[in-house]
Structure 1
Amino acid sequence: MKFGEIDPGSWPELQPYLDTCLLPMSGLTGEESPWEAADKAARTGEWLSPLEQAFRGRTVTMPAYHYEAGGKEHASRVNRIIDAWKKQGFRYVVVVSGQPLELADELNADLFIRPNLDDEEPEAQAITKALADLWRKPRD
C-alpha cells in the first residue's frame, strides 16, 4: 500500500499486517536537468514496483526521499526517519533506489534494494526474494 491509501480510522486494524516500510530514495543531487531527475525517479520506481505488487498487504510505501546530499549529516537525517518509523511499529525498513547508493553503509535500514552498477536492470524475482528472505531471518 502507499502511505496515502491509509486513513486514521483503518490504521489500527491494518498496522499488525503492515510490518514493512519501503523508503524510495531517488538519489538526486540537485545537479540534474529536469529530464534527468525524472529518469532517476522513474528508475527508482522500476526497482520499487516488484515489491509493491508482490507484497501489497504487508508493505507501506512511504514518501520518496529524493535528494541525497551525502556525508554523515545526511545519513543521520535518514537514520532518524528510519528510527521514527520503527518506533511507530514498523518491524522492517527497506530502502529502494534505482541508483547505487554511496551512503547505504551508513544507514540503519534492514535491507537495500538497488543496482550495484548504474546500468543494471531490476529483476523482479530477485528483488522479491530478497525481501522474503529478510522476513525469514531470525530477529535478534
Structure 2
Amino acid sequence: MKFSELDHNGWAELQLYLDTCLLPVTGLTGLESPPEATDKAAKTGEWLSPLESAFRGRTVTLPAYHYYDAEDEEERRKLERYCERVKRTGFRYLAIVSGESGWRAADYPSADLIVAPGNDGEAPDPEAIRAAVASLWKKESK
C-alpha cells in the first residue's frame, strides 16, 4: 500500500499486518536536468514495483526520499536517522529501495534491507527482489 491510501482509522486497524515499510530513495543531488531527474525516479520505481505488487497487504511505501547524495557523510547520517525514526513508528522492517548503485548496508543499521543495483546499469530481478524481502520474514519465524 502507498502511505496515501491510509487514513487514521485504517492505519489503526491495519498496523498489525503492515509491518514492513519500503523507503524509495531517488538519489537526486539537485544537479540533474529534468530528464535526468525523471530517469533517476523511474529507475527507483523499477526496483520498487516488484515489491509493491507482490506484498501489497504487508508493506507500506513511504513518500520518496528524493534528494540524497551518498557521497556526503552528513546526508548518510541524516538518512539513517530518518530510518531510525520511521522504525520507531511501529514498523518491524524497513527496506531502502533505490535505482542507484553503491549502497553500503553498514551505513544504515536501521534498514533491514537495501534493494538496489549492485552496479550501474543492472536491471532489477523481480524474483530476487521479492525473495530478499520474504527472507526477512522467514528469519522471524525461525
Q: How high is the TM-score relative to the length of structure 2? A: 0.92
Equivalent in 100, 120, 128 of residue 130 of structure 2: 128
CA RMSD of aligned residues (A): 1.4
Residue 47 (str. 1) matches residue 47 (str. 2): yes
Q: Structure 1 residue 104: deviation in Å?
A: 4.4
Indicate the residue corresponding to 2:34 in structure 1: 34
Do the aligned residues in 1 keep the contact of 2:23 with 2:96 (CA within 8 Å)? yes
Once the two structures are superposed, the pairs formed by residues 1-140 of structure 1 within 5 Å of their partners are 1-69=1-69, 70-102=71-103, 104-108=105-109, 109-138=111-140
Do the aligned residues in 2 keep the contact of 1:75 with 1:103 (CA within 8 Å)? no
**AA of the residue aligned to 2:35:** W
Which blocks of at least 5 consecutive residues in structure 1 are unaligned?
none
**What SS is found at the alignment partner of 1:32?**
coil
In the comparison of the two structures, how many residue pairs are matched? 139
Give the distance between the partners of 1:127 and 1:37, measured in 2 at CA: 24
Give the distance between the partners of 2:87 and 2:28, measured in 1 at CA: 25
Q: Structure 1 residue 86: deviation in Å?
A: 1.3
Which blocks of at least 5 consecutive residues in structure 2 are unaligned?
none
Do the aligned residues in 1 keep the contact of 2:102 with 2:119 (CA within 8 Å)? no
Q: How high is the TM-score relative to the length of structure 1? A: 0.93
**AA of the residue aligned to 1:18:** L
Give the distance between the partners of 1:134 and 1:43, measured in 2 at CA: 24
Give the distance between the partners of 2:40 and 2:61, measured in 1 at CA: 17
